[in-house]
Amino acid sequence: MTPFILREYLENIITSSLNEFIRSHANADKLDAGTIYPAIIKTTKAAQFGDYQVNGILPLAKTLGVVPRDLAQEFATFFAAKHALEFAKVEVAGPGFINLFLNDAWLAKLTPGIANLGTSLKTSTPRTIVVDYSAPNIAKEMHVGHLRTTIIGDSLVRVLEFFGHKVIKANHIGDWGTQFGMLMAYMEEVEKDPAAANVSIHDLDGFYRAAKARFDADEAFQTYARSLVVKLQAGDEHYLAKWRQLVDITMSQNNRTYKRLGVLLTDDDIMGESLYNPYLPGVVQDALDQGVATVDQGAVVAHLSEFKNKDGEDLGVILRKSDGGYLYATTDLAAMKFRVEHFKAQQIIYCTDSRQANHFAQIEIIARRLGYVPESTTITHAGFGMMLGTDGKPFKSRSGSVVRLGDLLDEAVERTTNLLNERNSDVTGDERQALVEALAYGAVKYADLSKNRATDYIFDWDRMISFEGNTAPYMQYSYARIRSILRRFALPADPQVQITNEHERNLVLKLQEFADVLTKVENQLMPHLICAYLYELSSTFNSFYEHVNVAKTEDAALQASRINLINYTAQVIALGLDLLGIKVVERM
């Protein structure tokens, strides 16, 4: 078997050697019978200490009652003999650390495996995973708050699919609720007399504001709007069609934004709140029947001892209001049940801002009590922080209003266009347009994805559109640079790689880390790890290229090796960016 995840492979062979070694030690009777003692490896800070350091010998020596350095020396000799293939040198350092020096020839041989990561990293235990993300609200513009959920969710979907999981993209749009009465009543008025209304339904925010103003000002209008809610709830066909019209107009606008952002969501992924409407009475009934909720002043409430309200009492989650209305929480309960029953979800990942963490924790508790979610299904809240302006306050437009996503993307395009003009890029025509878009949307997405999602992040135009630093343009530039080099050579038939100097070696080692990084992202759902890695890879490549002249390499086999090496680098950058939902370009 080829060791595709280098760190994992090394940890495995060291652990198994270590355990084999200590079990035959003279003092082995002092060890715990059933325990496997793990070897932990750390990457070292300087080349003189080798590539990795093994920790864990010191506590073992204590257990065995021997001098740590002696134990380290004995194990080093044992291990070096067993794994001469992988390690050129195994050295004892300090009080009992072991420094490991990888064997260049072995390392070089692994490198072509990079080209097959898509196959080699496929999981042997695929799971069915629902990712709940984006979820804009109908009859409203998408605003910057939806940017994070949309692109973080998109990246998680891409990574999980890459590993071979069955991923269900659930766009839990806000397409149900009493506000539709108001909107439909106002729609009728506008349709009757468009000139007087002076607002188009296609201007979602404007339309919503006008409808709300009309609603707040006129009691007769309110009564009429409420009557439409009742009709809609009862399945009146005429009003269902009107409702659908509102959903379609909003979503076709949102689809344009999705397309610009290059996210995978389509209309097929819409599973909005309305989908669960028929199940809400059943959820409330289940909760009452099973004693998970009780009637409290006419409302149906689930009391949770795990959460306290501000008076220190058990928190009450309302499932049905005293007027019979259902809530956001009720819908999420029904959705959780549906996802387990209908999709056989083994994991549900919610990608919303961190302020909803408690909401999902509460829903999970109630859903498990109701038996909606089996123990084997995990519920994960992949929460994220807020988007802040350079002043450290929530990101707003210059006039102080919430920034519409469409406007933000327009600005990104404008700024990138100016920057490219300054740089005198000679890319023209359609390719120029594609380049501007790849850079502009890439920059916005990368700026967000490169920060640990759990923290707030500062939206800073100048930094994100820069060609320097941990930015999309820098990564895209590195890729284009390699591609322009590769266009001068034919790709070698033999995928071999040789290590003849430290620059080649550093690049090979960095490439090998990619599989390890991806597995971490799969488990921790943290896309920023990909960005941090790509930044290191690009820097390693740039320093390689400063020192190694591929064109002037005379030895044909060595030149082929170097061409292969930079080709693998380009492939890894492209794959990394693709998993972030960012496009590469061939020329800049």
Task: Give the footprint of ligand ARG on this chain (CB under 6 A).
Answer: 132, 135, 137, 172, 174, 332, 335, 350, 352
The crossing angle, in degrees rounded to 10, of helices 6-23 and 502-524 is 90
The nearest distance, CB 172 to ligand ARG, in angstroms, is 4
Minimal distance in Å, beta carbon 140 to ligand ARG?
8
Closer Cβ to ligand ARG, 3 or 136, answer by number: 136
Other CB atoms within a 10 A radius of the CB of residue 33 amount to: 5
Classified as helix, coil or strand, 402 is coil
Measured from the CB of residue 350, what is the shortest distance to ligand ARG in angstroms? 6
CB of 269 to ligand ARG, least distance (A): 13
- Report the residue number, 326 or 350, with the smaller CB distance to ligand ARG: 350
Based on CB atoms, which residue is closest to ligand ARG, 99 or 134? 134
SS3 140: coil
Closest CA to 300 of 286, 287, 319: 319
Beta carbon nearer to ligand ARG, 17 or 137: 137
d(CA 379, CA 36): 31
Sheet holding 52-55, edge to edge: 40-43, 52-55, 97-102, 87-93
Two structure tokens written together for 483: 């591609």
Tokens in use for 193?
């007399």
Q: Least distance from C-beta 542 to ligand ARG, angstroms?
A: 41
Q: Which two structure tokens, joined as six digits, stand for 545?
A: 């290229």
Question: Looking at beta carbons only, is 111 or 134 nearer to ligand ARG?
Answer: 134
Residue 494 dihedral angles phi and psi, to the nearest 5°: -90, 125
Shortest distance, position 146 Cβ to ligand ARG, whole Å: 7
In terms of Cβ atoms closer than 10 Å to its own Cβ (0-12, 13-18, 19+), residue 399 is exposed
Our CB check for ligand ARG shows the closer of 147 and 420 to be 147
Q: Which is nearer to ligand ARG, 10 or 135 (CB)?
A: 135
Phi, psi of 122 (to 5 degrees): -60, 130
- Reference 477, options 417, 437, 435; nearest CA is 435
Q: Which is nearer to ligand ARG, 148 or 242 (CB)?
A: 148
User: Nearest distance from residue 274's CB to ligand ARG, in Å?
Assistant: 12
| HSE value, Cβ hemisphere, 13 Å, CA-based, for 476 | 29
Residues in the chain: 588
**Residue of closest CB approach to ligand ARG:** 135
Closest contact distance (angstroms) between CB of 241 and ligand ARG is 23
In this structure, the number of other CB atoms found within 10 A of the CB of residue 325 comes to 14
